[in-house]
Amino acid sequence: MKRLTDREVLILELIFCGLPLVYYLLRLPFMPETVPVHWNASGEADRFAGRFSFDTVLISVIGYFGLLFGIGLRKMICSVSKSESEQNTQTVERIMKWTQAFMCLLFTGMAFDFVYSTGEAGRHGAGFLLKLGAAVIALTFIAAGNQFPKLRRNSLTGARTKYSLSSDEAWHKTQRYAGRVMLCAGAALLLITLLPMVSGAAAIAAALAAMALSCIAVAAYKG
């Protein structure tokens, strides 16, 4: 199967980010004249605007802001990594491609939820957004964990501990270990976010715990 080029992937991401706008236009005839455009921490609408207002249109295209952030972050990280070996540069490029895609997914998911919440109920699914954010963190962990064992010793990326920097052998052992830890943590976190009884706040707490425990486990690794 032919692999998509960067340009083709970007075109697909641009189309995907525009889907909430299409959804907004389809819902437009059925929206009330005044719709919610901001919600408090409890998920209750606290600011309203007309259904044709700039604010209402803006919340349907925030996926593009996430995509721009992902592209900028990818360009910045990859430009710094070019001073490293070719293999490391390619590995970092793959990680940042996934990061860009996940940012696109996260912000576009938020846009869909915002547009859906402009309905008559006027209540925003804050729990959904929190669970979506936790899921994106989980997917990032899985993608990074898959790439860590491929990293060669360098001055920029990877699990950088006193032990891992002591020798090439220690470096490779640590990256393989860190990759396994991140894969397990990401898979467990993704499973937690998919459980219907888990709240959004609990999913974010689990994400923070996964990040903290992963860092501690890698930092404590001595081969």
| pLDDT recorded at residue 177 | 93
pTM: 0.65
Reading phi first (left if > 0) and then psi (alpha if -120 to 50, else beta), residue 158 is in: left
Is residue 217 within 8 A of residue 181, CB to CB? The reply is yes
Looking at the chain, the whole-number percentage of residues with pLDDT higher than 90 is 14
Is residue 171 within 8 A of residue 218, CB to CB? The reply is no
Mean pLDDT along residues 214-221: 88
pLDDT at 198 over 60: yes
| pLDDT recorded at residue 116 | 78
Q: Tokens 């990293």 map to which residue? A: 151
- What is the CB-side half-sphere exposure of residue 29 using CA atoms within 13 A? 1
Is residue 46 within 8 A of residue 38, CB to CB? The reply is yes
Mean pLDDT along residues 86-92: 72
Is residue 183 within 8 A of residue 148, CB to CB? The reply is no
**DSSP conformation class of 52:** T
Mean pLDDT of the chain: 82
pLDDT at 22 over 90: yes
